[in-house]
Structure 1
Amino acid sequence: MEMEDSIFNSLLKCTKALPVALGYRDLLTRLHSERVQGLSAQIGEYFGMSNNEMNVLNIAALFHDIGKIGIPDHILLKPSQLDDAEWEIMKQHSEIGEKIMGATELEGSQQVALVIRHHHEHYNGLGYPDKLSGENIPVCSRIISIADSYDAMAVSRPYRRARMHLEIMTELHEETGSKHDPELMRGFCEVIESSKFKAAKI
């Protein structure tokens, strides 16, 4: 199904309260989502994605973490690393996000919901929730995965300092082919060098 601009605009208009709600719950996650949207859009534009794909990418990136609304405070807002049991609960956010978006029953919402569900799949099939691999993962999900990973490392959290650009790129290169799509990473490496979302060098 093509997501025409009118459908995209209607979906965004009718769901715009959700990021506001997320911001009241966890402002850092809302700001992260906005940066991931911007960076994802730059990657999509680099690869010449169609207008339909860009519409899906933009709204899915903005809402990729909306499922964190359903994660208990003691886990979502924990000022230290999660233990294994807590991490299993945190991982449910992608499926919760899919359900929240799908529950709007708006035209185009199912297409976006699928991208949200799969933004933590890994290229090698070891991600979650469905262990999809390679091109079985929606391309918009693969793009969001890269942008999400970069920004998560570029910004400080209570339990982790922000990393410098070269540190982040070293880790992303190590994850290429396992977590991230090699072809999309090739484009990302060019995009990030002139992006306003680029982390500090020193």
Structure 2
Amino acid sequence: MNIYHDITPINSTLRLIITYRYVAFILAAGVLWIDRYYHYELNLFFVYTMVMILLGSIYKNNAVLLLQSGLVALTRYVLDPSSFDIFLSFWFTFFIFGFTTSLMISNYINQNKSNIELTKTLVKLLDSRDPYTATHSENVANYSKEIAKQMKLSKKKQNTIYMGGLLHDIGKIVIPESIVNKPDKLTEEEFDIIKQHPIIGYNAMKHIQPYQDNGILDMVLYHHERYDGKGYPHGLAGANIPLTARIMTVADAFDAMSSQRVYRNAKDLENIIAEIEKNKGTQFDPIIADHFLTYLHHNKQIILEKIKQSN
């Protein structure tokens, strides 16, 4: 039976705490030593409480928490003997602290898992209509995350950008397949329809709480904006385009150029690099483009293999 919280879907700080859970026991031992020799000079109830909060962030099993809180309360009772009612009161109080913390951690983990499952479901909807779009979204998500990593953004931001990459083309679900998969050049009217997909995707997702206030909606809405202001849907320019969307613009363009489509052949890597260099400061944020080019330079062989497998 697993008595620990699942640390897979949680942020790096909490994962670090749980990974190094032995610190809780070292802290507990330190508290006992201090309480043994300095109890009459210090009120250590706060420290005992912090130990239980830390234990609650580690253990999800209530029986284990009940035992842990009992041991903490028993130690407190042995070092400072009082009535049995006082002992029970401490036991109950410490358990509540640990249980409440554990419950909040469990809810947080379950919410993150639900967000991931929701994202996967939406991506499968894309896959059901156009397998390329789903593959493209996965590639864009990976490239965007690598750019974020190259820029030394936080792991939380990297994961958010990855999620946004998976969802950036979600608005294409309602675009007719005859337009999305047209082998010939799009007419002006058809291109106007395609240009609506960022707004469609944004409107479909803006009321979904997990995608609010973290940059994902920005990626959905603004990934076709250009650094020079000539993009769509709103013609934003420069720093007015959210950072996450500027990152995605580079990743999106790279995967589009490196992918084989019914209406054009994939470009080779050297031509793609030249195209990105050429469009720095116009289509792409030059700093972000340079970060991506650095990533390409250091991982050239891996990327070539990936492109070969995709096509």
Matched to 1:118, the amino acid is Y
Alignment counterpart, residue 109 of structure 1, candidates 197, 212, 220: 212
Aligned position for 1:64: 168
Return the offset for 1:74.
1.6
Q: 1:72 to 1:110 in 2, by over 3 A?
A: farther
Aligned position for 2:118: 14
Query: Residue deviations 1:41-80, cap 9 Å, x none?
Result: 1110011112332232111111111111010122112122
Gaps of 5+ in 1: none
Aligned position for 1:137: 241
**Structure 1: 4+ residue segments shifted above 6 A:** none
Q: Is 1:121–1:131's contact at 8 Å kept on the other side of the alignment?
A: yes
Gaps of 5+ in 2: 1-9, 12-107
Matched to 2:254, the amino acid is Y
Deviates more, 1:155-164 or 1:105-114: 105-114
For residues 8 and 145 of structure 1, the distance between their equivalents in structure 2, rounded to whole angstroms, comes to 26
Return the offset for 1:100.
2.3
TM-score (norm 1): 0.90
Deviates more, 1:172-181 or 1:47-56: 47-56
Return the offset for 1:9.
4.2
Larger radius of gyration: 2
Return the offset for 1:11.
2.0
The answer to whether 1:80 aligns with 2:184 is yes
Return the offset for 1:178.
0.5
The answer to whether 1:173 aligns with 2:277 is yes
For residues 33 and 94 of structure 1, the distance between their equivalents in structure 2, rounded to whole angstroms, comes to 14
For residues 192 and 112 of structure 2, the distance between their equivalents in structure 1, rounded to whole angstroms, comes to 32
Matched to 1:25, the amino acid is R
For residues 221 and 145 of structure 2, the distance between their equivalents in structure 1, rounded to whole angstroms, comes to 19
Q: 1:9 to 1:183 in 2, by over 3 A?
A: farther
The answer to whether 1:47 aligns with 2:151 is yes
Q: Is 1:11–1:106's contact at 8 Å kept on the other side of the alignment?
A: no
The alignment's C-alpha RMSD in Å is 1.8
Q: 1:108 to 1:137 in 2, by over 3 A?
A: same
Q: Is 1:67–1:97's contact at 8 Å kept on the other side of the alignment?
A: yes
Matched to 2:123, the amino acid is P
For residues 196 and 303 of structure 2, the distance between their equivalents in structure 1, rounded to whole angstroms, comes to 27
For residues 145 and 303 of structure 2, the distance between their equivalents in structure 1, rounded to whole angstroms, comes to 12
Aligned position for 1:124: 228
Q: Is 2:227–2:283's contact at 8 Å kept on the other side of the alignment?
A: yes
Matched to 1:78, the amino acid is K
Q: Is 2:205–2:211's contact at 8 Å kept on the other side of the alignment?
A: no
For residues 159 and 107 of structure 1, the distance between their equivalents in structure 2, rounded to whole angstroms, comes to 36
Q: Which secondary structure state, in structure 2, belongs to the residue aligned with residue 43 of structure 1?
A: helix
In the alignment of these two chains, the number of paired residues is 196
Q: Which secondary structure state, in structure 1, belongs to the residue aligned with residue 210 of structure 2?
A: coil
